[in-house]
Chain A
Amino acid sequence: MMNGYLRQDGRKGIRNIVVVAYLVECAHHVARQIVNKSGNDQVHLIGFPGCYPNAYALRMMEKLGTHPNVGGVLLVSLGCEGFNREALQQTVSDSGRAVETLVIQQQGGTLKTIAAGVTKVKQLLKQAQQTKMVPMTIDDLVVGTICGGSDGTSGITANPAVGRCFDQLVAQQATCIFEETGELIGCEDTMCQRATTPELAKEIELAMIKAANYYTTMGYGSFAPGNAEGGLTTQEEKSMGAYCKSGDSPIQGLIKPGDIPPGGGLYLLDVVPDGEPRFGFPNISDNAEIVELIASGSHVVLFTTGRGSVVGSAISPVIKICANPETYARMKDDMDIDAGKILTGTKVDRVGREIYDLTLNVAAGEASKSEAMGHQEFILTYKQFEPIGPGCLPARVS
């Protein structure tokens, strides 16, 4: 039985985190000290390092500050940076959450801000504890998936097993999100066939053309040296394996980072920026994608890995599904699920069921491995997006 923290917008959280957010790198140390000195694993650090304003970064921070897993927010500003802290404070406040802002230049420097921050966090934790808890069902859940450190086993063990889990969740009207169009290059035809309308298929096709162009301009595919060491040879081979994570359900919509899916079903998250490439690689590392999945509402993220990733995330727990039996043997302290046993005869369905059961347990409060070890990685960089097109979220037929 799951109980969730009821938020004003009707969404329910599986955690009740107080986030401390630095609004420029210059405030990072102070914010981190506030988190460390609070000595509470329910206080997480997030932030944006840039001094120049960016609409995407503001929107992401608004979506993260009003995420159902978040119960309170402390903003830490240096004072002179371009980030619109007033707008962010207002958005979080309007969501019914307690929110405070500390400006280091106004507080009188590092030590005074840290001391004030520790006090504020204590208050925010107390206020967050007042949040009403209500029964939560599977159709309240938003689950994202990502792969990182993929190898030749990922596409035949962990990824298809996550696909089976997604199929089970979608069958019960949960919301499932898969992503990284750049890691789906080569799968465009089959994805378009799964779209619920021709208009959505067209939008997916355009997003895939955008991804191929963007990565070509960058000079690299979404393909790391470790992928090759693990037996993957080409982008399209990696894509075919990554694509299995989406399962077999129809694709209900195409969203961009920060868009919250309007109802249950399977959604594709387009993470590749719009317009001419301006700020560099779409996502510079796995956590940038995890942050976007969370900004789009993911309560929990299913992370498949062959080479062996150890990351977790601020705000939402990350469940690690290990594809490669040799990696699992070496790194099992970090892995929640051993999917490599599929290579020695365990059925994909059975591992899919294991992932499904663990997802519900983690939603009910059990800590994932990375969460228990305190992994709270977070990264947010510059990007630009246009709003999604009219065909991206077809009217739902009930």
Chain B
Amino acid sequence: MTNSASNALVRLHSADNVAVSCRHLVVGEEIDLNDTIIHLVEDIPVGHKVALRRVRLGCKIVKYGAPIGSATADIEPGRHVHLHNMKSDYIASHTRTTVKHSGEHL
């Protein structure tokens, strides 16, 4: 099944190597984004990012045409791009589970 980009993914800038999902996307979907077919290898919740190209470890993740952090692993096209494979170039992000009861940051 190939979906049109208008209801599945939005690429915000031509320089971007990630796109944002407009609805909950399911593994196995093939999405046609401006004649590039993205094969989803995992589910992508709404508002989350998916890699459009291969991004090497240490390279910038680009969204809005601007770097929003760096890859902490090699990322293949169609992969979910999030805390497990990228990080901030400014201040580290935190989740509920990375804060100990003492308040100490892991």
A-B contact pairs, 8 of them (CB 8 A): A220-B105, A223-B91, A223-B93, A236-B66, A237-B68, A241-B64, A324-B46, A343-B23
Whether B93 contacts A234 by the Cβ 8 Å rule is yes
Nearest chain A CB to B19's CB is how many angstroms away? 11
State how many angstroms separate the Cβ of B30 from the closest Cβ of chain A: 20
Interface size of B in residues (CB-CB distance below 8 Å): 35
What is the CA–CA distance of A236 and B64 in the complex, to the nearest angstrom? 11
B90 and A234 within 8 A (CB): yes
**Interface 0/1 of B21-64, CB less than 8 Å to A:** 11100000000000000000000011111000000000001011
Q: Is B96 an interface residue (CB 8 A)?
A: yes
**CB of A394 closer than 8 Å to a CB of B:** no
List which A307-352 residues lie within 8 A (CB) of chain B. Answer: 324-326, 343-345
Closest 7 CB pairs of A and B: A152-B47, A231-B48, A221-B91, A231-B47, A237-B68, A234-B88, A343-B22
A236 touches B67 (CB 8 A): yes
Given pairs A231-B49, A343-B7, 5 additional interface contacts (CB within 8 A): A152-B21, A156-B12, A234-B68, A234-B90, A343-B22
Contacts of B89 in A (CB 8 A): 234, 236
Q: Are A221 and B68 in contact (CB under 8 A)?
A: no
Chain A residues with a Cβ under 8 A of chain B: 151-156, 185-186, 212, 215-216, 219-221, 223, 225, 227-228, 230-237, 240-241, 306, 324-326, 343-345
Given known A225-B94, A228-B82, contact A233–B23 (CB-CB < 8 A)? no
B90 touches A233 (CB 8 A): no
Instruction: Out of B82, B91, B105, name the residue touching A215 (CB < 8 Å).
Output: B91
Q: How far is the CA of A151 from the CA of B82 in the complex (A)?
A: 13
**Interface residue from A152, A220, A225 paired with B48 (Cβ < 8 Å):** A152
* Complex-state Cα separation, A337 to B38, whole angstroms: 32
Q: Judge whether A235 and B6 touch: CB under 8 Å.
A: no
Q: Is the CB of B46 within 8 A of A212?
A: no
Is B20 a contact partner of A156 (Cβ separation < 8 A)?
yes
B45 with A231: CB separation less than 8 A? yes
Contacting pair B63 A240 (CB below 8 A): yes
Complex Cα distance A221/B90, Å? 9
Residues of A within 8 A of B20 (CB): 152-153, 156, 231
**Which of B47, B48, B69, B91 meets A185, CB within 8 Å?**
B91
Contacts of B92 in A (CB 8 A): 221
Q: Known contacts A233-B69, A237-B63, A344-B7; is A324 also within 8 Å of B93 by CB?
A: no
Question: Do residues A185 and B46 form an inter-chain contact, with CB atoms below 8 A?
Answer: no
Q: How far is the CA of A154 from the CA of B46 in the complex (A)?
A: 11
Chain B residues with CB below 8 A from A240, complex form: 63-64, 66, 68
Q: Is B83 an interface residue (CB 8 A)?
A: yes
- Bound-state CA distance A317–B93 (Å) is 32
A153 touches B46 (CB 8 A): yes
* B 70-106 binary contact with A (CB < 8 Å = 1; else 0): 0000000000011100111111111110000000010
Q: Are A235 and B88 in contact, with the CB atoms below 8 A? A: yes
Chain B residue with minimal CB distance to A237?
B68
A219 touches B67 (CB 8 A): no
- Inter-subunit contact B95/A228 (CB<8 Å): yes
B48 to chain A, nearest CB (A): 4
Beta-carbon contact of B96 and A220 below 8 Å:
no
- Shortest CB-to-CB span from A211 to chain B, Å, is 10
Residues of A within 8 A of B47 (CB): 151-154, 230-232, 306, 324
Point out the residues of chain B lying under 8 angstroms from A219, CB to CB.
Answer: 105
A231-B48, A233-B69 are known contacts. Are A155 and B81 too (CB-CB below 8 A)?
A: no
- CA A343 to CA B47, docked complex, whole Å: 10
Q: Which of B1-15 contact A (CB under 8 A)?
A: 6-7, 10, 12
Q: Are A236 and B68 in contact (CB under 8 A)?
A: yes
Q: Is the CB of B46 within 8 A of A345?
A: no
Complex contact B82–A185 (CB within 8 A): no
A368 to B56, CA, bound (A): 48
A233 lies within 8 A of B82 (CB): yes
Q: A152-B49, A228-B95 are in contact. Are A235 and B12 (CB under 8 A)?
A: no
Q: Which A residues are CB-close (under 8 A) to B61? A: 233
- Given A185, A220, A324, which contacts B94 in the complex, CB threshold below 8 Å? A220
A345 partner residues in chain B, CB cutoff 8 A:
6-7
CA distance A154 to B22 in the complex (A): 12
| Cα A237 to Cα B66 with chains together (Å) | 9
Q: Do B82 and A325 touch (CB < 8 A)?
A: no
For B21, B49, B68, B105, the residue with the greatest tally of chain A CB atoms inside 10 Å of its CB is: B68
Complex CA gap A325/B7 in Å reads: 12
